[in-house]
């Protein structure tokens, strides 16, 4: 039996790693700016993450090397979770 959470979880994890490793911008940020402009607001610099979560998610002085480590951490944690799920499914 296939886990339905894998259908969305794997692509989301892959996207997060790709953004982290590339130093890219989430595609929702330009969309947020566009919607704010259409609503008559002045789009700020950065997006939701920059405005509300950056200080909590990314410590001051975060380097590209640490971004690579964080991206690898996402892969390791997800890999361990899926191995555990597979082992659990096989034993059931």
Domain boundaries, the chain: 4-91
Distance, in Å, from the CA atom of 11 to the CA atom of 9, rounded to the nearest integer, reads 6
User: Which pLDDT score is estimated for 15?
Assistant: 83
Kindly give, in sequence order, each residue whose CB lies less than 8 Å from that of residue 78, ignoring residues fewer than 6 positions away.
9, 10, 13
So what's the pLDDT on residue 44? Answer: 67
Q: For the chain, which residues score pLDDT lower than 50?
A: 1
**Over the stretch 21-46, which tens digit does the pLDDT of each residue have?**
888 777 777 888 888 889 888 776 66
CA distance 50 to 38: 20
Sorted by sequence, the CB contacts under 8 Å of residue 43 that are 6+ apart come out as 32, 33, 34, 36, 37
pLDDT attached to residue 84: 92
């Amino acid at each position: 039996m296939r886990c339905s959470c894998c259908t969305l979880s794997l692509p989301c994890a892959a996207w997060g790693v790709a953004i982290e490793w590339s130093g890219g911008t989430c595609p929702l940020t330009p969309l947020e700016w566009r919607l704010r402009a259409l609503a008559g607001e002045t789009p700020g610099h950065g997006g939701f993450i920059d405005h509300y979560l950056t200080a909590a998610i990314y410590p001051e002085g975060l380097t590209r090397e640490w971004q690579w480590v964080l991206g690898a951490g996402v892969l390791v944690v997800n890999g361990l979770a899926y191995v555990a799920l597979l082992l659990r499914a096989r034993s059931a």
